[in-house]
């Protein structure tokens, strides 16, 4: 492999390793379209990919890729026999297979795979998502695609956030060093407040309650006055009663 090609592929691997946690051995997820292209160009996938990466790699496929290739019949018989040679990675669709492209998309959500495919629609879909690494064949030559715009934008946005955070920390440190940063005031503990005395206005008796004892008092005075009233008997009446 030419030095310029090696530098480009190495630069791409370093980008994904430093920003998206890709690690050796790099896991290369291969579909039937890549195997079909390799068969047409009469190249050995295992040999060419290891020679191209010049580091540890692991070639993988999924059950969904194999089943889809088998369902397409005679045109992909050779590609099916090639894809079956790779290690079959569990994809979570066992018993309920899905199209190969959908299976690969789901596999790349939480894991770091280099996707080896000639499927243009799949490639376009993965380019829109930050952190997706693509490998394809240009005639008989493997090509590790440069980071997509989505991946570059994600890295730039993260770098800006880190720079802003560092600048804020530096400014706070300089303020504190020069005595410009106000000292943090100690938070006074809250005093436990006991139950408050009842509001005297809320304890006033209603007007109805006040009226009742007054009426009772009037009735009682009237009765006592009635008891104390003496009836004067005339003298001729008393004399008449004494005769009787």
- What's the predicted TM-score (pTM) here? 0.66
Q: Residue written as tokens 């088998």? A: 70
Alpha helices in the chain (DSSP H): 3-20, 32-41, 45-53, 63-71, 77-83, 100-107, 120-127, 149-177, 207-228, 235-243
CB atoms within 10 A of CB 79: 22
Domains and CATH numbers, the chain: 5-146 (3.40.50.1010)
pLDDT interval class at 198 (50, 70, 90): low
Rounded average pLDDT over 88-112 = 93
On whether the CB atoms of residues 125 and 114 are closer than 8 A, the answer is no
Quick one: pLDDT band at residue 4, thresholds 50, 70, 90? confident
- Residue 186, pLDDT > 60, answer no
β-pairing verdict for 113-116 and 26-30: parallel
- Is a pLDDT exceeding 90 seen at residue 79? yes
Assess whether pLDDT exceeds 80 at residue 211. no
Measured between alpha carbons, how far is 207 from 94 in angstroms, rounded to an integer?
A: 84
Can you give the pLDDT at residue 218?
Answer: 47
Q: How many beta carbons lie within 10 A of that of residue 22, not counting itself?
A: 19
Least confident of 2-11, 26-35, 102-111, 129-138: 2-11
Structure tokens at 111: 């894991």
pLDDT at res. 215: 47
Tell me the HSE value of 35 on the side-chain side, using a 13 A CA sphere: 23
Q: Is the dihedral of CA 120, 60, 95, 39 positive or negative?
A: positive
Chain centroid to CA 228: 93
Residue 180 pLDDT greater than 60, yes or no: yes
Q: Using the structure block, give the residue that is written with the tokens 């920390």.
A: 169
Q: Would you place residue 6 in the very low, low, confident or very high pLDDT band (cuts 50, 70, 90)?
A: confident
- Per DSSP (E only), the strands in 52-107 are 57-62, 87-89
Confidence of residue 175 (pLDDT cuts 50, 70, 90): low
Q: Which residues pair with 27 in a beta bridge?
A: 58, 113
Tokens for 117, please give them.
């495919």
Whole-angstrom Cα distance, residue 167 to residue 142?
43
Q: For residue range 10-52, what is the model confidence (pLDDT) as tens digits?
A: 999 999 999 999 999 999 999 999 999 999 999 999 999 999 9
Average confidence score pLDDT of the chain: 82
**Is the pLDDT at 150 greater than 60, yes or no?**
yes
Strand partners, 108: none
H-run or E-run covering 188: none
68-72, 74-78, 225-229: which has the minimum mean pLDDT? Answer: 225-229
In the predicted structure, residue 123 carries a pLDDT above the cut 70: yes
Q: Is 84 helix (H, G, I), strand (E, B) or coil?
A: coil
Q: Which residues of 166-182 are buried (b: 16+ CB within 10 A; e: fewer)?
A: eeeeeeeeeeeeeeeee
Mean pLDDT of 183-209: 59
Which of 11-25, 91-105, 108-122, 158-172 has the lowest average pLDDT? 158-172
Considering the chain, what percentage of its residues have pLDDT values greater than 70? 66
Is the predicted pLDDT of residue 204 greater than 80, yes or no?
no
134: β partners: 115
Judge whether residue 133 has pLDDT over 80.
yes
């Amino acid at each position: 492999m030419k030095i310029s090609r090696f530098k480009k592929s190495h630069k791409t691997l370093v980008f994904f390793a430093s920003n998206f946690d890709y690690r050796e051995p790099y896991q290369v997820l291969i579909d039937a379209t890549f195997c079909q292209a390799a068969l047409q160009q009469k190249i050995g996938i295992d040999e060419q990919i290891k020679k191209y990466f010049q580091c540890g790699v692991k070639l993988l496929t999924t059950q969904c890729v194999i089943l889809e290739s088998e369902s397409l019949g005679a045109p992909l018989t050779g590609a099916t026999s090639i894809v079956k040679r790779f290690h079959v990675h569990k994809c979570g669709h066992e018993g309920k297979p899905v199209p190969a492209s959908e299976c690969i998309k789901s596999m790349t959500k939480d894991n770091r795979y280099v996707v080896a495919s000639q499927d243009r629609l799949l490639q376009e879909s993965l380019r829109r998502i930050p952190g997706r690494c693509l490998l394809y064949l240009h005639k008989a030559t493997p090509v590790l695609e440069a980071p997509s715009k989505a991946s570059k934008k994600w890295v730039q946005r993260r770098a800006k956030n880190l720079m802003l955070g560092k600048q804020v920390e530096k400014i706070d440190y300089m303020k504190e060093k020069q005595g410009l940063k106000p000292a943090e005031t100690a938070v006074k503990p809250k005093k436990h407040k006991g139950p408050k005395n009842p509001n005297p206005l809320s304890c006033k008796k209603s007007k109805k309650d006040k009226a009742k004892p007054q009426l009772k008092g009037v009735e009682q005075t009237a009765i006592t006055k009635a008891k104390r009233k003496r009836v004067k008997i005339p003298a001729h009446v008393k004399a008449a009663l004494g005769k009787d």
